[in-house]
Amino acid sequence: MATLQSWIEFILALGAPVFVPFIMIVVGLFARMKLKEAVSAALTLGVAFIGMNIVVGFMMDSMGPAARSFAQNTGIQLNIIDGGWTSLATLAWAWPLAFFMFPLQLGLNILMLITKQTNTLNVDLWNVWGKILTAVLVLGVSGSIPLAFIVAGLQVILELKLGDVNQKHIYRLTQIPGVTSTHSMTLFGIILYPLNRLFDYIPGLNKHIDANWLKEKIGVFAENHVMGFIIGGLLGLFASYSLQETLLLGVQAAASLTLFPMVAKLFMQALAPLSDAVSEFMRRRFSGRELHIGLDWPIMAGCNEIWVTAIVLVPVTLLLAAVLPGNNILPFAGIINLSLAVPALIVTGGNLLRMILLGLVTTPVFLYIATYFAPIITNLARQTNALDVPAGQMISWSTLEYPVYRYIFTQVAAGSLLGIVGAIVWLGLFSWYVKDMKKRAQAMADDQL
Amino acid sequence: MKKVIVACGSGVATSQTVASKVKKLLDQKGIQAQVEAVDIKSLDTFIKDCAVYIAITKPAKQYPVPVCNGIAFLTGVGMENELQKVIEALRS
């Protein structure tokens, strides 16, 4: 027994790029993958960790000094670098208990389907990482592993409920039958919904604006390399770099943003056989019943309102990051705010004006919560050796998904009274959302008769 | 080798799930092809040198190559049909 424990400690001490592949081999064999496949998938996972480490290190090395120079030059302290969702996904998968989130999500989904608490079958096994990240954040704030799993489990239940409620709204937007989105980013809709109701009192907001035309005009700015170059260039300019240095920083920033998804793809390649086997199992288990299939958010990526909203919010986010007192994050890899645009699309039914307005109002929320979580995230990155964050620097994600849920429930886990009051209010808003969105779906159905 | 592209919001998650699945299915049938997950924001660049485009979304405009329905590979409904379309596009 003592030797087993010392073995486990030995493997954990090697850091995520080694121990997560070890876990992957065990899980893969358990899911009846062939040994050869399991080893190949596990190694790909290790490569993904090392790859992300290299890109994050490169980003920190190029952006970090520029941010310091920017602070000296302007007096604005933005010492947290935004690593975007790919960095945080790396951090999430590096948690030694990460893989336990699969049985938790599957178990709760099966239980809720059997007891008819939901009609949604979530086959999106990739976004298990969102629940893992929530658990990791709860653990970072409260230190409690049971509470980490409880808050993540609650999230599984809530996203299935939202999958049910949002299904008709998503169908109206995408015209794809039988599917819904179980991505937890819909949790931010709970906060957007009351704001959108307030907008009813402002005249002129129901005007339709053609997002497709705008997307054609400004879509190029959303491409990773272009966006990276612009932000890097701007940073260099305000850091009073020379022209050569500014241009170099621009291309370096473009390289970071281009390489992030290329490397993050390796995580998916490694996990694909596993997630395939699991979703196949789930579908077979419930093949007799008419269910909505829960998928990742990109089923809505054809709605150009999402892209136009996110692009319009880029300069707003940069400006607010510079002027808001107490914000310390420099928005970069996470600047395309899909965490806002996607739930805003659902809540407003694709009303571009309202979506942008919702973004303007809630961007400070994203920035402040990203600032709050930065020391916790940086700490976790160092503990697991998942990401290479140089001493004296911090990493976070400027557009952390469902920031309010994560903030409130980490505070609850830490036993804060304010957190508990917040959670009660939040759950109240949740039930309001569910009730009203159901009513609206019903009204849409009646209209079509 | 002919290329199949799959696009999603980031070119990482959904598109790679579908790409891995399509690659596996094509391998099983002994069909050689490169299947690549790409970022939908850069679709116009990638579509130029592919034989077929698998879309996760409802395509809004006309493309110069055949377009298949990627949702089928995620839900399993109508998957064989879409796979045939991919194969035909690769053969032509």
Spell out a b/e string for A62-75, using b for 16 or more CB atoms within 10 Å of the CB, else e. bbbebbbbbbeeee
Cα atoms found within 13 Å of the Cα of residue B57, Cβ hemisphere only: 21
From the CA atom positions of chain A, what is the Rg in Å?
A: 22
**Which residues of chain B lie closer than 8 angstroms to A212, CB-CB?**
60
Whether residue A265 lies within 8 A of chain B, CB to CB, comes out as yes
Q: What is the mean pLDDT of chain A?
A: 93
Least confidently predicted of A2-6, A60-64, A197-201, A388-392: A2-6
Distances (CA, A) of A1 to A4, A5, A18, A345, B57: 5, 6, 22, 54, 52
Of A51, A11, A2, residue with least CA distance to A269: A51
Angle at A228 between CA A225 and CA A229, to 5 degrees: 85
What's the gap in Å between the CA of A219 and the closest CA on chain B? Answer: 7
- As a whole number of angstroms, the distance between CA A206 and CA A209 comes to 9
CB atoms within 10 A of CB A403: 24
Of A298, A294, A300, residue with least CA distance to A170: A300
Please tell me the pTM assigned to this model.
0.92
Whether residue B13 lies within 8 A of chain A, CB to CB, comes out as yes
- As a whole number of angstroms, the distance between CA A166 and CA A161 comes to 9
Q: Whole domain around residue B10: which residue ranges? A: 3-91
Going by pLDDT thresholds of 50, 70 and 90, the confidence category of residue A12 is: confident
What's the gap in Å between the CA of A358 and the closest CA on chain B? Answer: 21
- As a whole number of angstroms, the distance between CA B48 and CA A156 comes to 40
What local confidence, expressed as pLDDT, does residue A283 receive? 82
Contact A302 B60 (CB under 8 A): yes
- As a whole number of angstroms, the distance between CA A351 and CA A354 comes to 6
By the 10 Å C-beta count (0-12 exposed, 13-18 middle, 19+ buried), A368 is classed as middle
Of A11, A183, A19, residue with least CA distance to A95: A19
CB atoms within 10 A of CB A213: 11
Q: Is the pLDDT of residue A420 over 90?
A: yes
What number of helices (H) and strands (E) belong to chain A?
A: 16, 6
**Average pLDDT, integer, range A265-278:** 88
Query: How many folded domains does chain A comprise?
Result: 1
Residue with tokens 């199949």: B4
Whether residue B88 lies within 8 A of chain A, CB to CB, comes out as no
Residue with tokens 């299915």: B25
- For a pLDDT cut of 90, what percent of chain B falls above it? 78
Going by pLDDT thresholds of 50, 70 and 90, the confidence category of residue A101 is: very high
Distances (CA, A) of A379 to A109, A373, A396: 32, 10, 11
- What is residue A207's three-state secondary structure? coil
- As a whole number of angstroms, the distance between CA A412 and CA A421 comes to 9
Q: Is the pLDDT of residue A1 over 60?
A: no
Tokens representing A179 are: 């599917």
Query: How many folded domains does chain B comprise?
Result: 1
Q: Is the pLDDT of residue A448 over 80?
A: no
Q: Is the pLDDT of residue A425 over 70?
A: yes
- As a whole number of angstroms, the distance between CA B68 and CA A25 comes to 34
Q: Is the pLDDT of residue A159 over 90?
A: yes
**Average pLDDT, integer, range A350-362:** 97
A317 vs A391: which has the higher pLDDT: A317
What local confidence, expressed as pLDDT, does residue B71 receive? 93
Residue A85 is inside which H or E element, if any? helix A84-93
What local confidence, expressed as pLDDT, does residue A278 receive? 83
> B3 forms bridges with which residues in the sheet?
B34
Using N-to-C axis directions, what is the helix angle for A145-174 and A403-413, rounded to 10°? 160
Q: Choose the mutation target among A215, A224, A225, A265 for the interface with B, i.e. most B CBs under 10 Å.
A: A265
What local confidence, expressed as pLDDT, does residue A30 receive? 86
Q: Is the pLDDT of residue A374 over 90?
A: yes
Residue A309 is inside which H or E element, if any? helix A304-323
What local confidence, expressed as pLDDT, does residue B77 receive? 87
What's the gap in Å between the CA of A336 and the closest CA on chain B? Answer: 11
What's the gap in Å between the CA of B89 and the closest CA on chain A? Answer: 23
What local confidence, expressed as pLDDT, does residue A193 receive? 98
What local confidence, expressed as pLDDT, does residue A2 receive? 65
- Across A313-423, where does the E strand assignment appear? 329-330, 394-396
Contact A298 B59 (CB under 8 A): no
Which of the residues in chain B have pLDDT under 70?
none
- What is residue B4's three-state secondary structure? strand
- As a whole number of angstroms, the distance between CA A310 and CA A266 comes to 26
- How do strand A292-295 and strand A394-396 relate by DSSP bridges? unpaired
What's the gap in Å between the CA of B7 and the closest CA on chain A? Answer: 9
Q: What are phi and psi of A330, to 5 degrees?
A: -95, 105
Residue with tokens 């612009």: A230
Contact B17 A224 (CB under 8 A): no
Least confidently predicted of A140-144, A332-336, A348-352, B88-92: B88-92
Tokens representing A118 are: 């939901």
Going by pLDDT thresholds of 50, 70 and 90, the confidence category of residue A274 is: confident
Q: What are phi and psi of B55, to 5 degrees?
A: -100, 140
Q: Is the pLDDT of residue A449 over 80?
A: no
A349 vs A2: which has the higher pLDDT: A349
Distances (CA, A) of A158 to A20, A113, A179, A279, A407: 28, 14, 17, 20, 16
Q: What are phi and psi of B68, to 5 degrees?
A: -115, 165
What number of helices (H) and strands (E) belong to chain B?
A: 4, 4
Cβ pair A362, A379 in contact under 8 A:
no
Please count the residues of chain A: 449
Q: Choose the mutation target among B15, B17, B23 for the interface with A, i.e. most A CBs under 10 Å.
A: B17
Q: What are phi and psi of A81, to 5 degrees?
A: -90, 140
What local confidence, expressed as pLDDT, does residue A249 receive? 97
CA dihedral sign, ordered A257, A261, A264, A266: negative
Amino acid of residue A380: L
Contact B14 A212 (CB under 8 A): no
- As a whole number of angstroms, the distance between CA A314 and CA A335 comes to 6
Q: Is the pLDDT of residue A20 over 60?
A: yes
Q: Whole domain around residue A252: which residue ranges? A: 2-448
Contact A302 B8 (CB under 8 A): no
- As a whole number of angstroms, the distance between CA A369 and CA A400 comes to 8
C-alpha torsion angle, residues A166, A172, A178, A184 (rounded to 10): -30
Give the contacts of A278 (CB within 8 A, at least 6 positions apart).
Answer: A31, A102, A106, A125
